[in-house]
Amino acid sequence: MPVNSPWLPRILATNLVLQVLIVITGGLVRLTGSGLGCPTWPRCEGDSFTPVIHDAMTFHPFVEYGNRMLSILVGVGAVAAVWAVYRWGRGRSPMLGLALSILGLTVGQGVLGGITVLTGLHPLTVMGHFLVSMTLVALSTWLVLRDREPDGPSRPVVPVIVRRLAAVTALALVAVLVLGTVVTGSGPHSGDAERPARFALDARTISWLHADAVMLFVGLVVAMVVATRLIRGGLRARDWWSWVLLIALAQGVVGYTQYLTGLPEVLVLVHMLGAAALTSTVTAGVLTLSAREAVSVDDGSLADQPEVAARQS
C-alpha cells in the first residue's frame, strides 16, 4: 500500500475546482455568442491553433480560445488525479476507477467539444457537453469524499426507504438538468451571435416543464432534510441535504428572476454555477447515507501496513 500524502487531497480538490470552472467558462462562451469564435477544431482558425489577428476580428475568438486553454488545464488536472491516486491511493476502492473514469470523460469532453464546433453548435451536442460536465462534477466530488473516508467496508447508515428516496431525488435532479439544457437550447443564448442553432420548441412551454421538475425536486429535498434530521443514522448527511435545500431554493429564485427579466447573461451564468453546486452537494448527500468503518488493527489486517494504520489514526 502506498504511503499517504497531503498532496492527494489537494490534487483531488483542484480537479474538482477545475471541473466546475470549465462549466463557468463554457457558459461564458455560450452567453457571449462566442461558440464559433474559433470556427474549426482542433485549430482555431485556418492553419492556426490561436486566434488570428486582423482588422475585422471581434472578441469572440479570444473567449472561445480561452475556454479551450482551460480545457487543457482540466485535462492536466484529470491526469494529475489519476497519477496521485495511483501513487498514494490505488488500493483504496474505488478511487482508481473513479480517477480513470474522470480522465476518460474529460478526454471525451474534448472530442465532444470539437464535434460541437464542427456541427455548428447543434443543440444536442451542446446539451451533451453540459451534462457530461455535470457527470464529471459528480464523479470528482465522489473522489474527494472517498479520500476522506477510512478504508473499511461501506455500510448503509439509514433505512432502505431513505436511500430509495435519495435515489429518486437524484433522478429528479437529472430531469431538472436535462430540461434546463433543453430550455437553454430553445432560448436566445444558443452559443453563436450570428448563426443561432436552437431546438424547434416553444421556450415558454419547456421553461414551465423545467419549473415543474424543480418544484418536484425541491419537495423531495425537503423530505430528505426531514428524514436525515429524524433518523439517527442520517446525522452525517443532514448538513449536506440542508445545503442542497438552500442551493435549490436559491436556484429557484434565480431561475424565476432570469425568466421574468429576459434571461440576462449574468443571471444565466449564476444559474449554471448553481447547477454545478447542486450536482456536487446532491452527490455528497447520497454518498453520506453510507459510511465506511475504520479497519481494525486488532484483526491483524494492518500489521504489515503501518502507513495505513497511520492514516486511520
Domain boundary among 151, 173, 204: 151
Confidence of residue 196 (pLDDT cuts 50, 70, 90): low
Residues 195 and 144 in one domain: no
pLDDT at 193 over 60: no
212 in a structural domain: yes
Whole-prediction pTM: 0.88
Q: What percent of the chain has pLDDT over 70?
A: 88
**88 and 7 belong to one structural domain:** yes
How many CA atoms lie less than 13 Å away from 263 in the CB half-sphere?
Answer: 15
How many other C-beta atoms can be found within 10 angstroms of the C-beta atom of residue 9?
Answer: 17
Sign of torsion over alpha carbons 213, 255, 102, 167: negative
**Overall average pLDDT of the 224-240 stretch:** 89
Q: Which of 215, 233, 226 is nearest to 159 (CA)?
A: 233
- Cα three-residue angle 233-234-238, rounded to 5 degrees: 150
**Residue 308 domain-assigned (yes or no):** no
Q: Which of 75, 97, 77 is nearest to 146 (CA)?
A: 97
- pLDDT tens for each residue of 59-95: 888 888 899 999 999 999 999 999 999 999 988 989 9
Owner of C-alpha cell 431554493: 249
In a domain, 305, yes or no: no
Q: Are 227 and 278 in a shared domain?
A: yes
DSSP 54: -
Cα–Cα distance between 252 and 209 in angstroms, integer? 13
Q: Measure the CA–CA gap between 309 and 303, rounded to whole angstroms.
A: 8
Q: How many CB atoms lie within 10 A of CB 195?
A: 12
- Whether residue 15 contacts residue 77, with contact meaning beta carbons closer than 8 Å, is answered with yes
247 found inside a domain:
yes
Domain containing residue 286:
154-292
DSSP, collapsed to helix, strand or coil, labels residue 45 as strand
- Give me the pLDDT at residue 156, please: 92
Q: Which residue type does 122 have? A: H
C-alpha pair distances (Å), 78 with each of 11, 17, 81, 91, 113: 9, 11, 5, 19, 17
Q: Are residues 206 and 131 in the same domain?
A: no
Q: Is residue 263 part of a domain?
A: yes
CA dihedral 267, 208, 193, 123 (to 10 degrees): 120
> 67 in a domain, yes or no?
yes
Residue 301 lies in a domain: no
Q: In terms of domains, do 47 and 162 share one? A: no
Local confidence band at 306 (pLDDT 50, 70, 90 cut-offs): very low
How many other CB atoms are there within 10 angstroms of residue 7's CB atom? Answer: 12
3-state secondary structure (DSSP) of residue 121: coil
Residue 190, pLDDT score: 54
Does a cis peptide bond (omega within 30 degrees of 0) precede residue 94?
yes
Rounded to an integer, the average pLDDT of 2-11 is 84
Is the domain of 17 the same as that of 139?
A: yes
- Residues 193, 137 within the same domain: no
Average pLDDT over residues 121-127: 85
Question: Which of 66-70, 165-169, 242-246 comes out lowest in average pLDDT?
Answer: 66-70
Q: Which of 97, 131, 151 is the last residue of a domain?
A: 151
- Shared domain for 273 and 198, answered yes or no, is yes
Name the average pLDDT for the chain: 86
**Residue 28 vs residue 280, higher pLDDT:** 280
pLDDT at 297 over 70: no
Asked whether residue 306 is assigned to any structural domain, the reply reads no
Q: So what's the pLDDT on residue 194?
A: 55
Are residues 164 and 141 located together in one domain of the fold? Answer: no
**In total, how many domains does the chain have?**
2
